[in-house]
Amino acid sequence: MFRIVFIGAGSVVFTRQLLHDILSYPELSGVTIALHDIDPERLQVAAALADHAVRTLGAEVTVTATTDRRKALDGADAVVNMIAVGGHRAVVTDFEVPAAAGLRQTIGDTLGVGGIFRALRTFPVLKALAEDMAEVCPDAWLLNYTNPMAMNIQYLSTVAPRLKAVGLCHSVYWTVRGLCEIIGVPYEEVDVLSAGVNHQAWILRWQHQGRDLYPQLDAAITARPDLARRVRVDMYRRLGFYPTETSEHSSEYVPWYLGHDSEIARLRIPVGDYMTIDAENLAEYQALRKAVADGDDLTGGWESDAAEYAPQVIHSLVTGTPRTIQVNTPNTGLISNLPQGAAVEVPATLDRLGVHPHHVGPLPVQLAAPNRHFLNVVDLVVAAAVEGDPRHIRHAAMADPATAAALTVEQIWALCDAMVEAHGDALPEPLRRAPLAARGGR
């Protein structure tokens, strides 16, 4: 019997969507789903939602819930990871401390100072998860949703190279769907090739019945000046290929926008946007918790076309159904002009044997350049954790494009000191130490 484990099931809104998608496949009848979270209250809410989904959809599955991770993992075939280490309080720290230092962020979960410290407090949990899986379910696939995606996947490939781990993100799907809506072409009829790094991949080919659709997008942008007032469109017009994450995300990974008041106004960049999003997520959880406690009707609450990738991977592993999705995986020559071993995002074929990433070849040079800047930060954050060297935290922040564009090196080091102090015990002990003085005289 196929066993699916949700790690971080207390992310109840996302858990409910994934459960709905899994239970909607008749071929997955009879699977076992184990929910795990370290927060008993959130786990209880997740279990209640799961029970309601099973009854509503008439699915013949077994759902269990436990705070014991190894118990949940025992015998797993697929492990879906969606942990958020530190919760809302850590998110507030990731924004308020940099803001006090003069650094603007919008989402702060992928790159930049927010992404760096989110990764450093997540890595220890990922390592422990990988160690547990090696002992109790060594053949299971780890399907990771937790950000910062590239840092997490590259870290896992470094500390647990035998782990079958891929990163899943729906940004390419929603980007292409949105572009199709702009030009009025059915999403189901288009062919797409996308590659790069997570949250900064590129739509390399986008065609309908063999016809390039970019000229239609150009015409739509010309006809609708409001479209041009977005970071993604600005990047597309200058680089020639459309980026695959929202403008809020995209503005953080380059040095061109957040440091300038005029660009924030011109491109309508919502500084600090994730603070609002995370607060709304927390409020949605509180509402669900109350609804469960009050015995309210829990019908609905999911998107029928969410098209999340984890259920598709699981369905292909069980049935052998071939399909193609986007995955994040170590670069084994898949993108030839990005570093070997770096976490890249490419298409992959799914079947009963697993996940098979596609070789893409070289990216256009103007796209590989910002991806390399992105991956420089990833390399240094992983090095900080693996080597236990607190200097590499500062080096990562110095290499980050948006941070380097906004702050001096002295300000960057001082900000990292403040972030280390603010996050405290959430960071591994070696990284809480004061960095050794830099060598001089050379």
**Which bin fits 383, alpha (ψ -120 to 50), beta or left (φ > 0)?**
alpha
pLDDT mean values, one per 10 residues, the chain (442 residues) = 93 84 90 94 88 80 94 97 92 94 94 97 98 97 97 98 96 96 96 98 97 97 92 97 94 96 93 78 77 67 69 96 97 98 98 97 98 98 97 98 97 97 94 74 39
170 belongs to the catalytic site:
yes
Task: Tell me the C-alpha distance between 199 and 197, whole Å.
Answer: 6
pLDDT at 130: 98
CA distance 237 to 179: 14
Burial 410-419 (b: 16+ CB within 10 A, else e): eebbebbebb
The C-alpha atoms of residue 50 and residue 63 are separated, in whole angstroms, by 7
Give 407's Cβ-side CA count (13 Å radius).
26
DSSP 8-state code for residue 348: E
Residue keyed to tokens 């980007």: 175
Question: CA quadruple 307, 313, 317, 318: dihedral positive or negative?
Answer: negative
Number of Cβ within 10 Å of residue 157's Cβ equals 19
Which uninterrupted H or E stretch holds 295?
A: none
Which residues, including other chains, have CB under 8 Å from residue 8's CB and lie 6 or more apart?
36, 37, 81, 82, 83, 84, 146
Catalytic residue among 36, 52, 88, 170: 170
The pLDDT of residue 267: 93
Whether pTM exceeds 0.85: yes
- Identify residue 47 by its one-letter amino acid code: A
Q: Which tokens belong to 376?
A: 């420089």
Residue 10 has what pLDDT? 83
pLDDT at 55: 80
